[in-house]
């Protein structure tokens, strides 16, 4: 005759549990279910309190094994402290989900990593280990610390916004209680702090790179970026097949390929998930016509003839173009100037020149794929001499002077 079971078997909403005591403390055994839930100490010697805690454990295990939504974990239950590392791990898994489900491209994921790394460093200095400890006051102190380390306004605004976004997601997914929500207004950049080259500076860079055969690859980069407004990521991915020639007119056709068939790593993506087409400027076209066709189909090459990368273009521009010309365009200390210009500064230059030369705004928006004129305002840089010319043409009242 089999022995009578001494331990009690309890059936809760999702799982069946066997409860027993060890040294007087109640524990729950869930290994008899379809999932090996393991054994858990309920941390109490009182049976009724143990059953209450087991009911909470039952729901948490259901969420862990995707049998229930996290909404079953109501906030009246005790929510454990969430470490910064564990919270970041969960959020990184969220943003790295498939693109078809709203996940972010690798480049966008890296921007979040660039925010979390300094956050973790500052939290360590402040002896902060949990997301539950991230408050509006802590965020203010963190942004002030970043500012002292030389971060610009746009970077600080982006950091604060992304941290708030992470916190909101952790709250929505019930990793944190709603009491952790940060109420802090973050100002948006009213004007980009990126330096915009002048006509004289761009022309000097073009002539400098053209005069040295070893810099022919950089000559293409400078002319392409300044005469088309494309981003460097788009330029390094540019293929001969992206150029359409119809009735003698050359057109760049930039397509977002994330929905195309083939290996995901080979699909070229655009920043805002939109493709576009724009005519090729005659100066850029003449360079394209003089280039040999490479076997891999990509147009831009580096100094050794290999495929151009963002890093090699940036380093080459600084070392071989900006530094040699820096003496011609001095800037005041602490003020953005020619030496602080980078690859993206060419996009600011292109947009500013389009506006100053009265290209229709809708056409500019289509060429650079900006969603509104507000974005153009962030990129636009007013030229003093052009502003003076327009001011001098104004006539007020009875003023008839020429």
Mean pLDDT of 65-85: 70
Phi, psi (deg, nearest 5) at residue 242: -85, -5
pTM, whole model, 2 decimals? 0.63
> In angstroms, rounded to a whole number, what is the distance separating the alpha carbons of residues 268 and 90?
27
* pLDDT at position 325: 96
- Is beta strand 39-41 parallel, antiparallel or unpaired with respect to 276-279? unpaired
How do residues 299-310 score in pLDDT, each as one tens digit? 999 999 999 999
- Residue count (the chain): 402
- Do 282 and 325 belong together in one domain? yes
Query: Which residue segment(s) compose the domain that 220 sits in?
Result: 202-342
Whether residue 176 is found in the same domain as residue 232: no
pLDDT of residue 109: 80
| pLDDT of the residue at 82 | 84
| Overall domain count for the chain | 3
Token digits of residue 109? 């994921």
Q: 62 and 72 in contact (C-beta within 8 Å)?
A: yes
- Do 142 and 249 fall into the same domain? no
Residue 368 lies in a domain: no
Same domain, 35 and 113: no
- Token output for 369: 């794929």
Residue 77 scores a pLDDT above 80: no
Per residue in 248-267, pLDDT (tens digit) is 899 998 876 454 445 544 55
* Alpha-carbon distances, residue 134 vs 76, 118, 138, 151 (angstroms): 21, 14, 6, 21
116 or 79: which carries more pLDDT confidence?
116
Kindly state the average pLDDT of the residues 88-111: 83
Q: Which helix (H) or strand (E) is 58 found in, with range?
A: helix 47-64
Contact 73, 82 (CB under 8 A): no
Contact 170, 131 (CB under 8 A): yes
β-partners of residue 278 are 252
**176 and 243 housed in the same domain:** no
């Amino acid at each position: 005759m089999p022995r009578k079971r001494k331990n009690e078997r309890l059936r809760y909403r999702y799982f069946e549990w066997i409860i027993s005591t060890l040294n007087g403390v109640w524990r729950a055994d869930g290994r008899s279910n379809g999932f090996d839930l393991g054994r858990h100490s309920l941390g109490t010697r009182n049976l009724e309190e143990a059953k209450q805690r087991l009911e909470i454990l039952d729901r948490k295990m259901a969420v862990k094994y995707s049998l229930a939504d996290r909404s079953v974990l109501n906030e009246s239950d005790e929510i454990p402290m969430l470490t910064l590392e564990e919270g970041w791990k969960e959020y990184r898994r969220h943003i790295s989900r498939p693109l078809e489900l709203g996940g972010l491209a690798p480049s966008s994921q890296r921007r979040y990593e660039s925010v979390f790394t300094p956050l973790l460093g500052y939290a360590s200095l402040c002896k902060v280990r949990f997301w539950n400890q991230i408050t509006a006051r802590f965020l203010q102190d963190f942004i002030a610390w970043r500012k002292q380390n030389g971060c610009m306004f746009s970077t600080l605004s982006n950091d604060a916004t992304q941290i708030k976004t992470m916190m909101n997601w952790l709250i929505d997914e019930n990793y944190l209680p709603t009491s952790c929500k940060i109420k802090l207004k973050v100002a948006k950049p009213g004007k980009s702090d990126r330096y915009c080259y002048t006509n004289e500076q761009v022309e000097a860079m073009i002539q400098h790179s053209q005069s040295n055969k070893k810099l022919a690859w950089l000559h293409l980069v400078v002319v392409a970026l300044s005469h088309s407004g494309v981003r460097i990521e788009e330029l390094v991915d540019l293929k001969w097949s992206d150029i359409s020639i119809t009735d003698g007119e050359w057109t760049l056709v930039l397509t977002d390929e994330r929905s195309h068939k083939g290996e995901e790593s080979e699909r070229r993506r655009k920043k805002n998930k939109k493709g576009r087409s724009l005519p090729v400027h005659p100066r850029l076209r003449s360079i394209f016509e003089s280039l040999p066709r490479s076997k891999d189909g990509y147009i831009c090459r580096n100094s050794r003839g290999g495929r151009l990368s963002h890093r090699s273009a940036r380093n080459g521009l600084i070392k071989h173009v900006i530094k040699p010309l820096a003496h011609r365009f001095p800037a005041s200390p602490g003020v953005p100037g020619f030496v602080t210009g980078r690859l993206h500064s060419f996009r600011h230059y292109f947009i500013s020149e389009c506006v100053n030369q009265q290209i229709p705004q809708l056409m500019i928006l289509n060429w650079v794929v900006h969603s509104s004129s507000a974005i153009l305002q962030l990129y636009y840089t007013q030229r003093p001499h052009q502003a003076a010319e327009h001011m001098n043409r104004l006539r007020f009242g009875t003023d008839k002077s020429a």
